[in-house]
Structure 1
Amino acid sequence: MKNPIYINDSSVVSPLAPSGFGSLMTAIKSLETGLVAPIQQAHELQLTALRNESKWYKQLDRSVILAMLAARELKISSNRIGINIGSSRGATGVWEESFSCFSKNGKATTQSSPLTTLGNISTWIAQDLGIDAAAFSHSITCATASHAVLNAIAWLESDMVDEFIVGGAEAPLTPFTIAQMKALRIYATQKNDFPCRALDLEKSENTMVLGEAAACFTLSKKEAQKSIAQITGYGTAIEQLSSATSLSVNGKCLQDSMKRALKHTSLDEVDAIITHSPGTIKGDQAEFNAIKEVFGTSYPVLCNNKWQVGHTLGASSAMSIAMAIEMFSKKKVFKIPYLDDSFTNPRGEKVVPKKVLINATGFGGNAVSLLLEAL
């Protein structure tokens, strides 16, 4: 990137307690549907209150309400603004309810179509904030939020807008969505202190867990007094598939996306990598192999948050951006409690993070890497 893009504000609705990503506790719980990471109770109460504000809001999918709740906390300073909040699954809850109704009586509800379109996440945010914006949504599976950032960079650098709201939202804790993940045989089954063991390369079974969350950010091309971080590099890649969910053994797409994001940055300058690693045996190993291919054995500190909040699908890389911002603010790299420092920090240094690389991958063999820097 010739010029950085500035992150001016951040807002997160998630399973995390107020202590944030720095906590050594997981928010994953065992409920009737299985192991999941629902949003914390304080956010649940806010979500209920928001729904009750309008008859329209009561009909909206939970993913839309989560995104609206997060976006309300952002400070908007421009009249020329864009909105791109993505989601992997979109209106999961409303879809399942609508299909259940159709299965029973052969008829769809009147509002089933407008309430299940993916674009209504961003448009309802515009409606709720009362702003006239270029608003659109998209899905590129688990790299969705990172692609929203890439879209924003393009709009900002072309001067089509002055400010952009980006992020991701996901509410996948529904019976059918969880059943889909279990059908792939990647879902966690062990109810212990850390059900999702992301980046644990010694695990003998898959340990992915679904979580729900929304995270939103405001971006601009010009640094503001309120700017909290900057994006200084990005890379995208896609690799040939051997199956619908595959990733090559050495994570070729991640190798390429990381190299492209670091085109103008020395590898020694990268302090930490927030990995995508969802807790699956093959996925975690492939990403680690990719990191070693790019950095060698003296790689940056490895971080992850899926062991805390589960895999929030389209919101997952937005959660990683929020984690990087919190690490910059607290001037520390957050540990993974069940892994040895010798593995996660092979350089053996006490790190005050200034440059953090964020990885995201999704079905279809796509990968995005973003380089964030502290201000």
Structure 2
Amino acid sequence: MRRVVVTGIGMINSLGLDKESSFKAIVEGKCGIKSITSFDTSSHTVKIAGEILDFDPTTVMDAKEVKKADRFIHLGLKAAQEAMGDAAVATFDPERFGVCSASGIGGLPTIERNTIVMNEKGPRRLSPFFIPSALINMLGGMVSIDYGIRGPNLSSVTACAASTHAISEAFKTIVVGAADKMLVVGAEATICGVGIGGFAAMKALSTRNDDPQSASRPFDLDRDGFVMGEGAAALVLETYEDAKARGAHIYGELVGFGESGDAHHITAPTLDGPLRSMRAALRMANVDKVDYINAHGTSTPVNDKNETAAVKTLFGANVPVMSSTKGQIGHCLGAAGALEAVISLMAMRDSVIPPTINYTTPDPACDLDYVPNTARSATLNVVMSNSFGFGGTNGSVVFKRL
């Protein structure tokens, strides 16, 4: 089987506009969650989110093109450009280089705006760029145009597991020989009235509006829901042989992935689905030990308890250290998997485990080592990242240091 490695990474989130500043702030336990500024929340029960406040989309595309693309595309392009620059692929066969984009919802703010226009002014006033700018796969389309990537152009749309599934889809594409390199990019930007309102209606979000910095508290007894974030991350995957031949820096080898379905409920998770996803990833990875798990860890009462139980069932007496970085940047939905894969790779690179912040009151149902509040130095040779989504869709990936 062809070996697949990661040679370029990039990310943007509420704590930084690039991978290095973001990761530094995450490790330091800083929090990017604040009161929402992008729309009027006076009629909303939830008024907090992990917004990116200082990003200028004209830094990644021409000013005249900005309005033709939704914000999730702007963010995705930023992450993709950083990853491509990091990989430093000077020349490539465009037909052997592909892209796999991902988002859970895509252009929701664009849909919201155009629905208002439709209702107030009629269909003739709709933007001709409405549909293209909202399509999830348009992120991959725009990235491919920017770089002349003419290989497989795929997209994953599996809720909060979307960009983890994009990583595994890219892996499969390379392994079967359909491409030699793949750019994975996951992005989400759904901090808008209908996005916040919709998740709040499900009672999925934290209502700790008076204390935004402490609202997302994975595995803590007093957690009351997740906090929405926005952001994007990208990874360049290629064959080990190609990477070695061109002397590329290798962050790690993607040695295993797992995918599963709960077949249980549209929103409530099971223990079995995540367990089978992780088990499949470990079986493929064929490693003796996992040193760190970046948990899905959403800060919802059910998920954190469920994920803890699944990890304990799988690993028994050898449970790895596990933390959730959603306390720092919020839950970025379909972009979360790519973001957390990048964070996991950087943790392995720097021999540091990011903390689970806001962990103050232990929950008897969540009784593992979550690296509470302060980062920890550790040699990491194998790391796992989990993502679980509505509809009972699960994904896990395993990376190994080379």
AA aligned to 1:26 is C
> Helix, strand or coil: the match of 2:172?
helix
Give TM-score, length-normalised by structure 1. Answer: 0.91
1:261 is aligned to 281
Distance in 1 of aligned mates of 2:285 and 2:138? 38
C-alpha distance in 2 between matches for 1:141 and 1:350? 33
Maintained 8 Å contact 1:123/1:136:
no
1:330 partner amino acid:
D
TM-score (norm. length: structure 2): 0.85
**Inter-partner Cα distance in structure 2 for 1:122 and 1:206:** 35
Tell me the CA shift for residue 253 of structure 1.
0.6
Q: For the Cα contact (< 8 Å) 2:321–2:370, is it kept in 1?
A: yes
Identity over the aligned pairs, expressed in percent? 24
> CA contact under 8 A between 2:351 and 2:377: conserved in structure 1?
no
5+ residue gaps, structure 2: 42-46
Aligned in 2, Cα 1:127/1:345: closer, same or farther, shift over 3 Å? closer
What SS does structure 1 have at the residue aligned with 2:60? Answer: helix
- Find the counterpart in structure 1 of residue 219 from structure 2: 199
In 1, the alpha carbon distance for the partners of 2:136 and 2:287 equals 38
The whole-number CA distance in structure 2 between the counterparts of 1:261 and 1:37 is 30
Cα deviation, 1:287-308, whole Å, max 9, x if unaligned, reads 1111111112541101111101
1:85 corresponds to? 101
Q: Which of the numbers 326, 334, 355 marks the counterpart of 2:382?
A: 355
Q: Whole-Å Cα distance in 1 between the matches of residues 357 and 169 of structure 2? A: 35
Out of 359, 364, 372, the residue aligned to residue 339 of structure 1 is 359
* Cα pair distance change 1:38/1:268, threshold 3 Å: same
2:64 aligned residue: 55
CA distance in 2 between counterparts of 1:149 and 1:49 reads: 26
Whether 2:144 is the aligned partner of 1:145: answer no
Shift of 1:153: 1.4
Q: Which amino acid aligns with 1:144?
A: A
1:235 aligned to 236, 248, 258, which one? 258
Name the residue aligned to 1:111: 129
1:54 Cα offset (Å) = 4.3
* Letter in structure 2 aligned against 1:366: T
Q: Distance in 2 between matches of 1:59 and 1:350?
A: 44
Paired AA for residue 374 in structure 1:
R
What does the per-residue CA deviation read over 1:259-279, in whole Å, with 9 as the maximum and x for residues that have no partner? 111115678611111110211
SS of residue paired to 1:290: helix
Q: 1:297 to 1:185 in 2, by over 3 A?
A: farther
Query: 3-state DSSP class of the match of 1:262?
Result: helix
Residue range with higher mean Cα deviation, 256-265 or 78-87 = 256-265
1:151-182 Cα deviation digits (max 9, x unpaired): 11121112111100012100011110010110
Is contact 2:348-2:383 (8 Å) kept?
no
Per the TM alignment, residue 103 of structure 1 is displaced from its structure 2 partner at its CA by 1.1
Out of 152, 171, 188, which is 1:170 matched to? 188
> Are 2:116 and 1:100 equivalent residues in the alignment?
yes
| 1:329 lines up with 2:349 in the alignment | yes
User: Which letter maps to 1:177?
Assistant: G
CA deviation vs aligned residue, 1:12-31 (integer Å, no higher than 9, x gap)? 11112412431211111112
Name the SS for the 2:309 alignment partner: helix
- One-letter amino acid of the structure 1 residue matched with residue 345 of structure 2: I
Consecutive unaligned residues of structure 1, counting only runs of 5 or more, are none
Tell me the residue number matched to 2:336.
Answer: 316
Provide the rounded CA distance (Å) in 1 between the counterparts of 2:50 and 2:121. 33
Alpha-carbon distance in structure 1 between the residues aligned to 2:183 and 2:100: 6
Q: Contact 1:84–1:136 at 8 Å: present in 2 too?
A: yes
**Contact 1:277/1:304 (<8 A) preserved:** yes
Query: What is the distance in 1 between the residues matched to 2:119 and 2:381?
Result: 53
Q: How has the CA–CA distance of structure 1 residues 146 and 104 changed in structure 2, closer, same or farther, with 3 Å as cutoff?
A: same
Give, in whole Å, the separation in 2 of the partners of 1:345 and 1:266.
24
The one of 189, 202, 210 equivalent to 2:207 is 189
SS in 1 for 2:160: coil
Deviations 1:214-243 (A, max 9, x none): 1011101225232111111111111122x3
